[in-house]
Structure 1
Amino acid sequence: MTSVSLLLSLLLGVADVRGGSEFRICAFNLHHFGESKSNKNEIMITLARIITRCDVCLLQEVRDRKGTAVSKLLQTIRRYDTRNQYDLLASERLGRKGSYQEQYVFVYRTNTVKVTDRYQYPDNMPGDEDAFSREPFVVRFKAPKTSIQEFVLIPQHTTPTNATKELDALYDVLQNVRRMWRTENVMLLGDFNADCGYLAKKNRDKVRLITDRSLHWLIGEDSDTTVKHSTSCSYDRIVIHGEKFNGAVVPSSAQPFNFQQEYRLTEEQALNVSDHYPVEVLLKVSSSRSFNGVTSFTSSFTAFQCFCLIICHLLS
């Protein structure tokens, strides 16, 4: 990618970023995100385009051993979307094997949401110690513009061969967090590997996260969250606890985001970004609310978008 085309990608990013009339929570498995991917401008710009659609975006499969890739990603995001302010919160590196560890990373807009607490689940449930390969890094958020006001996110990237057990153990994490923070507004999200060969239908009645009727699975069984055309699996999920939180969700807004189709990428180009599509959901907002004095605006960028398109045409 030339410096001119990179600049134009950054400028046109303004048009991609969603306005303040909605609040979007996303979960995205980045598929071995580390130093190699962070050194490829095309991939980083596409990641920025995807992540800046979201007020909060959970990233998984972050394998940033040197601690530089995530920093580069945040810098790219901040250059790409100057209308909003971004920060991140990362877990420690997690995994039973020293040779393979991952981090959970939350990227969020500081002008629309604030981190109020965090909790690394110790994975020491009596009788079921070390249930997770990558135990949840739980984060509590305050989001004044939403109708729910505050909520907790419990992330999980299950081990495919142990998905059924880990999904059931997530129920214990949920109860732990509800008691500890005295909250009912909890969302569980991530690459659950909750479909195809990893979660057999005969085992689903053994998973309390599925059988408890106070939990709402928002990504349907018929949703395909995988990039490869040869697969169709609902691995990535969003689960809401409680009627109040479920009522704060914009109906039918939970879905995978097909960035390959949206950005007109080939399958190979999309797979270079990730083998998963992100999943997302919208929360209801009040248009009169602001955060730290920052109000939303969208129409003022129409002329700027047109200017960028004209420049692109002239340089093509």
Structure 2
Amino acid sequence: PSRATLDCKMRTAGLLVVVGLCALNITSSLKICAFNVQSFGESKANNKKVMGILLKILSRCDLCLIQEVRDSKGEAIQALVKALNRFDEYNSYSYVESERLGRKTYKEQYVYIYRNDVLQVKELYQYPKLEGDGANETDVFSREPFIVRFNSPTTLVKDFVLIGQHTCPKTAMKEMDELYTVFKGMYKKWKTENVMILGDLNADCSYVTIKGWKAVRLRSDPSFHWLIGDDQDTTVRLKTHCAYDRIIVHGREIISGVVPGSAQPFNFKENFHLTEAEALEVSDHFPVEVDLKPNHRYLLRHELNTSWLFCFLFLYFFLNYLQKGIFVR
């Protein structure tokens, strides 16, 4: 081959190394998601098309809070996680679920689906429902938060708490304010300030007011960082533009451990080239997501292992092309 051909092949090999190392940096962070799947139960679990889209969405996440699970038999979530483990053969997933929550006959569950090869559940806590006389007047939450503490050896922040919440639209502002009380209680209980509050908070459009925001302690306390901004759209329908779903973080370690610019809704309608009708079969919400930075020791070990592989491939291409060039001449 000519000198120009060899140079071209060498550049191609070099590009493969660069692309591989770039891919490494993307995959070594930990993606946390929250997704209101809109009445997930037996019907959706039996819909192959919907399940196929859900699996593609969930396999992007290392940890995902699923909301609006309406699965009285307890079979739909089992089927979903089983299918996810078949779909994503490179990772292993487990889940923890809340009680069935709701004031009357309408019940929902929260479910955390997580990769058990990179995350471990340390503790979980179902926030208690007020009982007794007058409880209906003083009980703020329609569905009490489900709270899980995770150990994450691969990330910069190794110990953090997730407070999952799906508010009732009519009482969204009261519930968001009460999450401040929940945070204080969990800090006292588990002695960690690294907390992420996430879920469909109905935190926009007709469910909130400018005056009401001032009374929401999560909003007025500057130690809470709202990663999904008011200008975002977490709804599937084109006619709506509302940031209902939010991710809020508190604590120096977890705030500094967030990958800048990674918090956003995931528009699966555009990414998977779906019509609005097809997307609405899955949910009327987009999931929201954020990435956590890997810790340096894990990243170094991971980079070294991967770098050896790409160095080997580079040398293989180099020697192969060099050998061909010598023998052709």
Indicate the TM-score class for this superposition, using the shorter chain for normalisation: 0.7 to 0.9
Q: Distance in 1 between matches of 2:138 and 2:90?
A: 45
- Matched with 1:68 is 75
For residue 95 of structure 1, give the secondary structure of its aligned residue in structure 2: coil
Contact 1:186/1:240 (8 A) holds in 2: yes
Q: Distance in 2 between matches of 1:143 and 1:20?
A: 15
- Matched with 2:61 is 54
Kindly report structure 1 stretches of 4+ aligned residues shifted beyond 3 Å: 123-129, 295-300
Contact 2:194/2:252 (8 A) holds in 1: no
- Matched with 2:243 is 234
Stretches of structure 2 lacking an aligned partner (at least 5 in a row): 1-24, 311-329
- Matched with 1:110 is 116
Contact 2:160/2:194 (8 A) holds in 1: yes
Contact 1:116/1:140 (8 A) holds in 2: yes
- For 1:88-237, list aligned pairs within 5 A: 88-98=95-105, 100-124=106-130, 129-237=138-246
1:297–1:224 Cα change, 3 Å: farther
1:129-166 Cα deviation digits (max 9, x unpaired):
42101000100000000000110000000000000110
Q: Distance in 2 between matches of 1:20 and 1:78?
A: 18
Contact 2:157/2:295 (8 A) holds in 1: no
Q: Distance in 2 between matches of 1:62 and 1:156?
A: 13
- Matched with 2:47 is 40
| Larger proportion of helix | 2
Please give the root-mean-square deviation of Cα atoms over the aligned residues, in Å: 2.3
* Number of equivalent positions: 279
Aligned residues with identical type, % of pairs:
51
Contact 2:269/2:276 (8 A) holds in 1: yes
Q: Which has the larger radius of gyration?
A: 2
Q: Give the alignment partner of residue 22 of structure 1, picking from 29, 32, 53.
A: 29
Q: Distance in 2 between matches of 1:297 and 1:88?
A: 30
Q: Distance in 1 between matches of 2:241 and 2:116?
A: 35
Letter in 1 for 2:116: T
TM-score, reference length from structure 1: 0.84
Letter in 1 for 2:117: N
TM-score, reference length from structure 2: 0.81
Stretches of structure 1 lacking an aligned partner (at least 5 in a row): 1-17, 301-316
For residue 162 of structure 1, give the secondary structure of its aligned residue in structure 2: helix
Letter in 1 for 2:220: T
